[in-house]
Structure 1
Amino acid sequence: MATLDPQAILDGRSPGRPSVMLIIGMVVSSLCAMIALGLYAVFGGTGFVVGLGLAILPVPMLVAVVLALDRLEPEPPKDLIFAFLWGAGVAVLGALILNTLGYRYVTMPLFGDTDGRFWTAAVGAPIIEESLKGAVLFVLLWFRRNEIDGITDGIVYAAMVALGFAMMENISYYMQALDGPGGVKSLESVFVLRGLISPFGHPLFTAMTGLGVAYAANHRTGRTAALILGLLGAMLLHGMWNASTAFGVKGLLVVYLIDFGILLVLLVLIFNERRALVREIGQYLPLYQGTGLVSPQDIQMLATMPQRRVARRWARTVGGRFSARAMSDYQLAATELVLLHQRMDAGVIDQGFFASRQAELMNLMYWTRQAFLSQPGDPGAAPWGPSGFAPPPPHR
């Protein structure tokens, strides 16, 4: 275990080598976020601090909800942070500049002040903002394709970039409301609408792009069409929501019901994908019983979230935090192994990559298994009854 970097293996990167491109992306995104905040502070008036506080307030809960969707095979934290920072930085600053220029030099000269604002909100902003948010998903598809294993991953990454964007955008809305004629009452109305009633608006829009990216990452044909349709779907939903504000409460209600229906469909897709993954655990992991890496009881344990939690608690009881971490890594490595088989069967990876990745994951499973079975406690006391069989260590 001392020679392994479990997180690097699970992330599919070289041990001890953080991605230079990822670091650069985080730095650039953070700088853009700070510039946007600086502009808000300078031009936003007295409402900046209030707007900042209200915008940040629901974010931890919203992020927790998104991460709960992906508990069976969670994405690398660094990639999720990068997506959030991109939304809060590059996408927001880019949209701030491009939306302003589009209104000043395109929609206002063509349609006048009032109609120009409507067309900017209903057409210009959705095109610009969804393109900027979707760009990071295309980056992840290009550089981290093997981390996007299905619909859930595409939606999770899309939601993270959109939550970062929405948080920063809400600051400006709250500032404008507080500094406007309505003052505090106007701020209350905007907070209820954006912070409580429709906090998943932007994640829902960008999820369409996430679906396209997920399809492209896991299929050999139709990739370009999926990416285009996904991005257009995001723009359409975003444009419908923005345009509905011109039709009062009835317009908002109609579009809200449509969006809520789409949200339910996405949740069903995520649930069905999780069930399919559970079935594949029972399909692929039995192939490895002869290696001693899994037993029939282990496969049953790996197939449900409650049993996985029981296993981690048992490992902590037997060997403390180190053993619990080893159990968690073992569970994730086993799940990654199943997803590797899934991608191989779909024909999106070649035999060489499959063999190399398979060896890494089997090696990690062996050493993490040894870590929680070799503790001073009694391994036989495990609720699912793990096998104590320990084959010779695989070649490293």
Structure 2
Amino acid sequence: MVAIISAGIAPGIALLLYFYLKDQYDTEPIHIVIRMFILGVLLVFPIMFIQYVLEQENVVTNKLLLSFLSSGLLEEFFKWFLLMVGIFQHVEFDDHYDGIVYGTSISLGFATLENILFLVGHGLEYAFTRALLPVSSHALFGVIMGFYIGKLKFSEKKARRKWLILSLGLPVILHGFYDYILLSLENWLYLMLPFMFFLWWFSLHKAKQARTIKAIPSEKF
């Protein structure tokens, strides 16, 4: 059990540290990052319950709905909502890259507990694949969400609707597409590899872009 928990936690912590230490201007207070991580962990339980109800009540009847509604929209919306409520107006959110730090924190909290539960149920032999795919993808969805939340916070008021839509809509679409590949394609690996390559490229590009943007005073949202 110790080995399973360690294997379940390790990739999430490693990815969180990677993005956390890339904050070159002013590293975020570790207690806030940990708090957002824990919120992500706690988010697993209500989401699992809602997904179970949707399945039992036959609300989700096909793989497309399962991918984009039950997984993509449900999971990304709650992460986005907690970021908007829990950190968007916080005084420590004072730089564009901070959105990425907090976005990856909550996403990786969610992914870490989900990963542990999967490994407990299916075995340690899946640890490497889980680290490369579900845990990494959650981290990258968090990067993208956090980038656009940063744009939302530090942009002029007239541009905020666009960033608000992208901060939720793009992670939902990418997450839904990720799940649809896994659920619908027999030879899913052939499409998953280029998709993950694109996801890494796009996320790292956005992270680099965020580090070069000088924050400007934002109006209240």
TM-score by length of 1: 0.50
**Which of 156, 159, 167 in structure 2 is aligned with 1:220?**
156
Deviation of the 1:155 alpha carbon? 0.7
Letter in 2 for 1:136: L
Report the CA distance shift for 1:141/1:218 in structure 2 as closer, same or farther (over 3 A): farther
Aligned to 2:92: 147
Deviation of the 1:232 alpha carbon? 0.7
3-state secondary structure, aligned to 1:261: helix
Letter in 2 for 1:106: N
CA deviation vs aligned residue, 1:43-92 (integer Å, no higher than 9, x gap): xxxxx655423211334322221211114211122321211111011x21
Q: Distance in 2 between matches of 1:271 and 1:205?
A: 18
Q: Tell me if the contact between 1:151 and 1:270 (Cα under 8 Å) persists in the aligned partners.
A: yes
Letter in 1 for 2:98: D
Q: Distance in 2 between matches of 1:175 and 1:86?
A: 21
**Which of 199, 205, 214 in structure 2 is aligned with 1:265?**
205
Q: Tell me if the contact between 1:207 and 1:234 (Cα under 8 Å) persists in the aligned partners.
A: no
Report the CA distance shift for 1:83/1:261 in structure 2 as closer, same or farther (over 3 A): same
Unaligned runs of 5+ in 2: none
Alignment length, in residue pairs? Answer: 216
Q: Distance in 2 between matches of 1:210 and 1:229?
A: 10
Q: Tell me if the contact between 2:104 and 2:140 (Cα under 8 Å) persists in the aligned partners.
A: yes
Q: Which has the higher contact order (CA 8 A, sep 6+)?
A: 2
Note if 1:66 corresponds to 2:6: no
**Which of 109, 121, 128 in structure 1 is aligned with 2:74?**
128
Report the CA distance shift for 1:232/1:94 in structure 2 as closer, same or farther (over 3 A): same
Aligned to 1:252: 192
Note if 1:242 corresponds to 2:179: yes
Aligned to 1:161: 106
Q: Tell me if the contact between 2:103 and 2:142 (Cα under 8 Å) persists in the aligned partners.
A: yes
Q: Distance in 2 between matches of 1:142 and 1:61?
A: 25
**Which of 169, 179, 184 in structure 2 is aligned with 1:232?**
169
CA deviation vs aligned residue, 1:207-240 (integer Å, no higher than 9, x gap): 3322232122212313243222210111011111
Q: Tell me if the contact between 2:4 and 2:119 (Cα under 8 Å) persists in the aligned partners.
A: yes
Q: Distance in 2 between matches of 1:265 and 1:257?
A: 12
Aligned to 1:87: 40
3-state secondary structure, aligned to 1:136: helix
Report the CA distance shift for 1:99/1:173 in structure 2 as closer, same or farther (over 3 A): same
Q: Tell me if the contact between 2:23 and 2:97 (Cα under 8 Å) persists in the aligned partners.
A: yes
Q: Tell me if the contact between 2:99 and 2:149 (Cα under 8 Å) persists in the aligned partners.
A: yes
3-state secondary structure, aligned to 2:97: helix
Report the CA distance shift for 1:70/1:262 in structure 2 as closer, same or farther (over 3 A): same
Q: Tell me if the contact between 1:50 and 1:175 (Cα under 8 Å) persists in the aligned partners.
A: no
Q: Tell me if the contact between 1:55 and 1:171 (Cα under 8 Å) persists in the aligned partners.
A: yes
Q: Tell me if the contact between 2:12 and 2:108 (Cα under 8 Å) persists in the aligned partners.
A: yes
Note if 1:105 corresponds to 2:42: no
Letter in 2 for 1:88: V
Q: Distance in 1 between matches of 2:51 and 2:134?
A: 22
Letter in 2 for 1:348: E
3-state secondary structure, aligned to 2:52: helix
Q: Distance in 1 between matches of 2:156 and 2:49?
A: 37
Letter in 2 for 1:177: H
Note if 1:57 corresponds to 2:3: no
Q: Tell me if the contact between 2:44 and 2:110 (Cα under 8 Å) persists in the aligned partners.
A: yes
Spell out the pairing of 1:1-396 with structure 2 (5 A cutoff).
Answer: 50-89=3-42, 91-107=43-59, 111=61, 115=62, 119-144=65-90, 146-178=91-123, 187-188=124-125, 190-196=126-132, 199-221=135-157, 222-245=159-182, 246-247=184-185, 248-273=188-213, 277=214, 342-343=216-217, 348=219
Q: Distance in 1 between matches of 2:100 and 2:11?
A: 19
Report the CA distance shift for 1:58/1:142 in structure 2 as closer, same or farther (over 3 A): closer
Report the CA distance shift for 1:49/1:207 in structure 2 as closer, same or farther (over 3 A): same
CA deviation vs aligned residue, 1:304-339 (integer Å, no higher than 9, x gap): xxxxxxxxxxxxxxxxxxxxxxxxxxxxxxxxxxx6
CA deviation vs aligned residue, 1:264-308 (integer Å, no higher than 9, x gap): 3123313433xxx5xxxxxxxxxxxxxxxxxxxxxxxxxxxxxxx
3-state secondary structure, aligned to 1:241: helix
